[in-house]
Structure 1
Amino acid sequence: MTRASLDKKPQDVAAMFDEVAEKYDLTNDVLSLGQARLWRRAVADSVAARPGERVLDLAAGTGTSALPFVEAGAFTVPCDFSLGMLREGKRRHPWMPLTAGDATRLPFADGVFDAVTISFGLRNVGDVDAALAELLRVTRPGGRVLLCEFSHPTWTPFRTVYSEYLMRALPPVARRVSSSPDAYVYLAESIRAWPDQEAMALRLQEAGWSRVAWRNLTGGIVALHRGVKPA
């Protein structure tokens, strides 16, 4: 098993990420031309975690994305459904409360988190709307959500160049740096099939989030969507 298909069966996606866990963060830095670190910083700034807050970092992988929240003084729970990713994360950060969990059936009580976030993981969930509803359930009233996901460049010429990179340049580069390059073919396909910024905002609203807004990073390659749970 080296890649998943766009029907996103949970066991297939989890197996795919198990295979790429060891080199996942390095591969992302290479394939994003160094932008991945800037995107992580933008997520941390947008979440604006504060000391004493409780933050859920869903699709946390090896835990790298959770570090800024920990450094801000928040009690942070990194959660992922790939056991391979979690094992690698525990090897790197043995002190982290890494937790196995399915985004559509989270193992947490209602209203326990001040902020919930998911970076580059919602695209891999089989039932996106169920995941958005689960994030709402585990967030306290007045709490916030921050989604960071690949999106659609807003400038048409750039969008064309970007699409060519995804389908032609990304797989050969992945073969050089990844332990499972075919997995990145799936990732490229899933990025192209993902809803645009407005459609993603509408899905957040339909899940029950209020004050939904977004901003683009790197010309719309990535979008940060945010919302608040109604009081």
Structure 2
Amino acid sequence: MTNTGEAPEESSAQVAAETPFDASERRAWAGRAAAYAVGFGRLCAYTVPRLLDAAGVTEGSRVLDAGTGTGTAAAAACVRGARVAAVDAEPDMVRSAAAAAPGAAVRLAALPQLPFGDGTFDAVVGNFVLNHVGRPRAALAELRRVTRPGGRIALTVWAAPPAPGQALLGRAVRAAGVPRPPDLPTLAPEEDFPRTEQGLAELLRTAGRLTEVTCSAVSWEHRTTPEEWWHGPASGVATIGRVVISQGPAATERIRRHFLDLAAEFTATDGQLVLPHTALMASGQVAG
């Protein structure tokens, strides 16, 4: 596969498939690949080795990394000797992933419409991609479509309720009295699903029509610094970042002060933050 790192224009069908949630997510991530990589990107990298194992990624596997972000999973799959394609809905992420995974074919594409034929891949992985799509069930159906019979799909999402480290930034926002902007949509209720082991497993069984589904919680302590952890949201990264910057510099500074106060309970003797996080990892097989 050839990696061009190009970010071609999307088709009108892709744009038409967007929900308000999808459009909001695209705005939240636009041009923020670098800010994501040094903060939240390092956090999300923790699950990548287990995700590739769950999908059965080995040498020679044809692999799709859906929602590749800055290309961490795609690069790791290349190291295993897999033949890797990767997609992301944000052009800046596509360019970043192309640089991080020069052995992968990286292109611009958004779930639930992918530019691949039926049964193209032996394995499909999505590291937290379901957190960022407006139609999770349609996204799963599309991932199943591009996976061959007998192939595997492995996905991660954040658990709910969130682990203490994951909740830190939200606590700071609430302490500062900054509300969620009214123009920031949430996932439609009919599209949401329980962010539990049982809830994610059932989603794979029903929407993805997968067999041999397993799901388990993955917990770890993410080590970072207060400066690094604050940089992402202060740069507008992700939904939390859009909330942090939504009311201007004075409100952002108020949130920052509360963040530093609350961060004290997670601060180790060396000054680093030790933030407990929990994700859910599920995988299943496409029936023959």
TM-score by shorter chain over 0.5: yes
Q: Which residue of 1 aligns with 2:29?
A: 17
* Structure 2 CA distance for partners of 1:53 and 1:18, relative to 1, 3 Å: same
Q: Which residue of 1 aligns with 2:239?
A: none
1:1-231 matched pairs, under 5 angstroms: 8-28=20-40, 35-152=43-160, 161-162=164-165, 164-169=167-172, 195-197=194-196, 198-207=198-207, 208-218=209-219, 221-231=278-288
Give 5+ residue unaligned stretches, structure 1.
Answer: 1-6, 154-158, 173-181
Aligned equivalents of 2:123 and 2:219: distance in 1? Answer: 24
Aligned equivalents of 2:87 and 2:146: distance in 1? Answer: 13
Aligned equivalents of 1:36 and 1:88: distance in 2? Answer: 16
Aligned equivalents of 1:22 and 1:71: distance in 2? Answer: 22
Q: Is the 1:123–1:194 contact (alpha carbons within 8 Å) kept by the matching residues of 2?
A: no
Worse-superposed segment, 143-152 or 211-220: 211-220
Cα offset, 1:199, TM superposition: 1.3
Q: 1:226 corresponds to which letter in structure 2?
A: S
Deviations 1:104-163 (A, max 9, x none): 11111000100011011111101110000001101000000000111136xxxxx67457
Aligned equivalents of 2:163 and 2:63: distance in 1? Answer: 37
Deviations 1:156-199 (A, max 9, x none): xxx67457424125899xxxxxxxxx9xxx8xx88xx8622211
Cα offset, 1:94, TM superposition: 4.7
* Structure 2 CA distance for partners of 1:213 and 1:108, relative to 1, 3 Å: same
Q: Which residue of 2 aligns with 1:177?
A: none
Give 5+ residue unaligned stretches, structure 2.
Answer: 1-18, 221-276
Q: 1:28 corresponds to which letter in structure 2?
A: F
Cα offset, 1:87, TM superposition: 2.1
Q: 2:287 corresponds to which letter in structure 1?
A: P
* Structure 2 CA distance for partners of 1:218 and 1:199, relative to 1, 3 Å: same
Cα offset, 1:209, TM superposition: 0.8
Deviations 1:43-67 (A, max 9, x none): 2332331121100000001212211
| Partner secondary structure for residue 108 of structure 1 | coil
Percent of paired sites with the same residue: 28
Q: 2:218 corresponds to which letter in structure 1?
A: L
Aligned equivalents of 1:147 and 1:160: distance in 2? Answer: 19
Aligned equivalents of 2:126 and 2:163: distance in 1? Answer: 27
* Structure 2 CA distance for partners of 1:171 and 1:225, relative to 1, 3 Å: farther
| Partner secondary structure for residue 130 of structure 1 | helix
Q: Is the 1:60–1:79 contact (alpha carbons within 8 Å) kept by the matching residues of 2?
A: yes
Aligned equivalents of 1:160 and 1:134: distance in 2? Answer: 30
Q: TM-score, normalised by structure 1?
A: 0.76
Cα offset, 1:217, TM superposition: 0.6
Worse-superposed segment, 141-150 or 82-91: 82-91
Q: Is the 1:57–1:77 contact (alpha carbons within 8 Å) kept by the matching residues of 2?
A: yes
Q: Is the 2:210–2:284 contact (alpha carbons within 8 Å) kept by the matching residues of 1?
A: yes
